[in-house]
Structures are given as C-alpha cells and as structure tokens.
Amino acid sequence: MNIFRVNGKKVRTNLFGIYKLWNGNDYPKNKRVVSVPFGKWDGEVFDELIAEGYTSIRFVETSTAVRGYHNVYAFCAGRR
C-alpha cells in the first residue's frame, strides 16, 4: 500500500499497483465495497471515494466467465 497526500489528507491505496484477486465471497468487515463500472478508470473512482472522505482505498479484482475480462472493486474504510 502506498500513501498519497490528497487535499491535505493521507490516503492509503494500492492504485497504480498490482491488484489481488478476490473470490467475491469473503467481504471485509467494516468496509464499504464499491464496484468500478465498466469503462470507468480506477483513478476516477478513487477521486470520487476521496471526495466522500475515505482514507483507505484498496482495489481488488475478480475474474469473469469471459476470458480476459475482470471486474474491479474497491474496499473503502476510514471515512470521517
């Protein structure tokens, strides 16, 4: 996880890194799970979540039935 300073807040994230595969079943406790819409860049969702006040954003991906396609999700925590 990297730490970025955005608008004076420290934000922990793995954006611009390698996302771990998530099986889609084990939901993390006390975190919001957000799906990244198809065609939207992860950075756009990252900016939206920072605007909502989250300070810890971890991206994960799941594989789909279609070869080569992956769904991306963000686990968010630390909202103030």
CA angle 34, 38, 41 (to 5 degrees): 75
Residue 80 is predicted with a pLDDT of 59
19, 20, 25, 30 alpha-carbon torsion, rounded to 10° = -70
- β strands within the chain, DSSP E: 2-6, 9-13, 20-21, 32-35, 56-63, 70-77
Residue 55 is predicted with a pLDDT of 93
Per-residue pLDDT tens, the chain, 80 aa: give them: 889 898 888 999 999 898 999 888 888 888 999 999 988 999 999 999 999 999 999 999 998 777 777 889 999 998 75
Residue 44 is predicted with a pLDDT of 95
Q: Model's pTM, two decimal places? A: 0.85
What is the Cα–Cα distance from 27 to 12, expressed in whole angstroms? Answer: 19
Residue 24 is predicted with a pLDDT of 80
Residue 50 is predicted with a pLDDT of 93
- DSSP at 33: E
Domain boundaries, the chain: 2-77
Q: What would the two tokens of residue 31 be?
A: 């975190």
